Amino acid sequence: MGLTSRPLLYAAVLAALAAVALTCGLWPRFAGRGPGAVLGRLGSLLATQLALIAALALAVNANFQFYGSWHELLGLYDDAPGAVAKWGGATGVGPAGDPSQGLVQPSGPEGLDKVHGLPKGPPATVGKVETVRIVGKRTRLVDPAYVYLPPQYFQDAYARQRFPVVVALSGYPGGIYLLGQHLRLPQTAAALQRTGAVQPTVIVMLRPTVAPPRDTQCVDVPGGPQAETFFARDVPDALRSHYRVGHDPGGWGVLGYSSGGSCALQLAMRHPETYTAAAALSPDYKVTPDPTTGDLFGAGRDRVRRREEHDLIWRLRHLPPPRVSVLIGTSRHGEKNYPAAREFLAAVRPPMQADTVLLDQGSHNFATWRRELPAALRWMSKELTFPEDVVGAS
C-alpha cells in the first residue's frame, strides 16, 4: 500500500483502536507486582502509543503530503544526483525520465483527486487543472506539476494568444498537493480571474524538492542536482514546448511560500532573463546549508563566492541590481524573519522594484499565506504582459 493511500491510513487507525481496546481489556491481568505484570503494562502502553503515533503521522502526512512515497520517507533517493549524471548508459533510459518522450509528459493524479474546490465544468467556461511531469532536457530532472489553464485558453477568441505564466513553488518538504489543497492557489486564481481582478494566466505548480528527500534550495549543487538550471531554463523550455505561453520574460513570474518563496527570489534576481517578477511569501534571503540540504556549494576557491552570491542582501550591496520586480509577504508580529525582510527591502534600489504585503499579525503557516495570496496574484497580474504575442509570430 502506498504511503498516502487511504487503505493504509484506515488500517493504521483500526490498529490503534485495537491496541487501545486490548490495553483496556488486558490491563486487569497486569495488576500484579511481578516482573511479568510490569513488563505487560509497559508493553501494552508502548504498543498503544506506537499505534496511535503511527496513525496520527500517517493522517498528517496524507493531509499535507510531506512525503509522497515510502522511497521518499526512507531516503532511497539519496543517489539521485549520481544516477542523473549517468544518463545515457547501456539501458538507454534515464532514472529521471526520458526527454525524447517529451518535456511535458502525462502523469497520474499526483493527489489532485483529493484537492477540494477545483473548477468543474467545461474548460472553456471554468478552466482546467491537469497533472503532468516536467522533464529537464539539460538536467534530466523530473518534477510533477499541476497546471492551471484559464477558461480563455480554450476559447476561440484567444486561440492565437500566448498567455503569461506564473511558476508557483511549494515549501520544503511539501509537494504540489499543498499548493492546491492548503494554499488554494488554483481556486483563488480562478475566482480572481472570473471577476476580472487578475488577467488570464497559466499557473504551473511545482515543488522545489527535485532530488527528494534532499532540500536543494534551488541551487546548482557542484557534482549534484542542478536545481537552479532546472527551474531557470528547463522548466520554461518545457512549458513553451507544450503550452501556448509567452516567449518573452515580461510574461513570466515566479511565486512561492516559505522555502519556495526563497527560491522565487533567487530565481528572479539571478535570472532576470527568465523571470521578471517574483512574489515571495515568508521567504529567507540567503541559502544556508543544514542537515536537510547537505553541502550545497562544494569545495575549492569558488565556495565562498558561490555562497555569497546566494545571499540576496549581499547581492544587492555588492552587485548591480537586476531589472525585476519583487513582492515580499511578511508580518510585523509572528514572522521571525521580519527584520531580515526589512533589511532586504531597504537594500533594494533601481532598476529593481519592491513592494510588500505587510500583515500586522501572521505566523509561518497556510492561514497567513492564504491571506496574502490574493494581493500577491493581483500584483503579479499587473507585472506580467498579456497578450504578449500571437501564435505563429516570430
Task: Indicate whether 242 and 311 sit together in one domain.
Answer: yes
Determine the average pLDDT of the residues in 321-334: 96
* Closest by CA position to 381, among listed 260, 269, 253, 243: 253
Nearest to 373 by CA among 238, 205, 173: 205
8 Å CB contact between 309 and 338: no
Provide the domain limits for residue 200: 98-383
- Render pLDDT for 92-124 as a digit per residue (tens, 0 to 9): 223 456 787 899 999 999 999 999 999 899 999
- Residue 385, C-alpha cell as written in the block: 504582459
CATH assignment at residue 152? 3.40.50.1820
C-alpha dist (Å) from residue 186 to 13, 137, 199, 215, 392: 32, 27, 14, 25, 29
| 240 contacts: CB under 8 Å, gap ≥ 6 | 247
Residues 36 and 181 in one domain: no
Q: What is the pLDDT of residue 6?
A: 67
Q: Which three cell numbers stand for residue 134?
A: 516536467
93 located within any domain:
no
pLDDT at 231 over 90: yes
CB–CB of 110/146 below 8 Å?
Answer: yes
Which residue from 211, 149, 218, 148 is spatially nearest to 179, judged by alpha carbons?
Answer: 148
Q: Are residue 115 and residue 262 in the same domain, yes or no?
A: yes
**Among the ranges given (27-31, 164-168, 253-257, 386-390), the one the predictor scored with the smallest mean pLDDT:** 386-390
Residue 87 inside a domain? The answer is no
Strands (E), 75-164: 104-106, 128-135, 142-149
In a domain? residue 73: no
| 195 and 104 part of one domain | yes
On the question of pLDDT at 323 being above 70, the answer is: yes
Which of 136, 390, 137 is closest to 244 using CA atoms? 390
pLDDT average, residue stretch 43-50: 85
Q: Among 17, 49, 64, where does a domain finish?
A: 64
All cell numbers assigned to 369: 499565506
Which of 48-52, 70-74, 79-83 is least confident?
79-83
CA dist., res. 112 & res. 148, Å (int): 12
27 and 118: one domain?
no
CA 61 to chain centre: 16
Q: What is the predicted pLDDT for the residue at 25?
A: 79
Q: What is the pLDDT of residue 220?
A: 95
What's the CA gap between 120 and 126, in Å, rounded?
7
Q: Are residues 193 and 338 in the same domain?
A: yes
* pLDDT tens sequence across 176-217: 999 999 999 999 999 999 999 999 999 999 999 999 889 999
- Does the pLDDT at position 387 exceed 70? no
Last residue of one domain, picked from the residues 64, 86, 108 = 64
Query: What is the reported pLDDT for 79?
Result: 35
- The Cβ of residue 341 has, within 10 Å, a number of other Cβ atoms equal to 22
Q: What is the pLDDT of residue 80?
A: 33
Strands ordered across the beta sheet of 128-135 = 104-106, 128-135, 142-149, 202-206, 165-169, 252-257, 277-281, 325-333, 353-361
Three-class secondary structure of residue 98 per DSSP? coil
Q: Are residues 130 and 45 in the same domain?
A: no
Does position 175 have pLDDT exceeding 80, yes or no?
Answer: yes
Residue 81 has pLDDT above 50, yes or no: no
Looking at the fold, whether 52 and 174 belong to one and the same domain comes out as no
Same domain, 13 and 135: no
Has residue 75 been placed in a domain?
no
106 lies in the same domain as 55: no
Q: Could you tell me if 45 and 111 lie in one domain?
A: no
Same domain, 39 and 136: no
- Provide the Cα torsion 216, 147, 365, 263; round to 10°: 30
Per-residue pLDDT, 20:
84
Is 191 buried (19+), middle (13-18) or exposed (0-12) by CB count in 10 A?
middle
Q: 389 in a domain, yes or no?
A: no
Compare 303 and 41 and report the one with higher pLDDT: 303
Q: How many domains does the chain have?
A: 2
User: Residue with C-alpha cell 524538492?
Assistant: 209
Give the Cα separation of 329 and 29 in Å (integer).
Answer: 58
Residue 346 lies in a domain: yes
- State the chain's mean pLDDT as an integer: 87
Q: How confident is the model at residue 51 (pLDDT cuts 50, 70, 90)?
A: confident
- Residues 6+ positions from 3 with CB-CB distance below 8 Å: 58, 61, 67, 68, 69, 70, 72, 73
% of the chain surpassing 90 pLDDT = 66
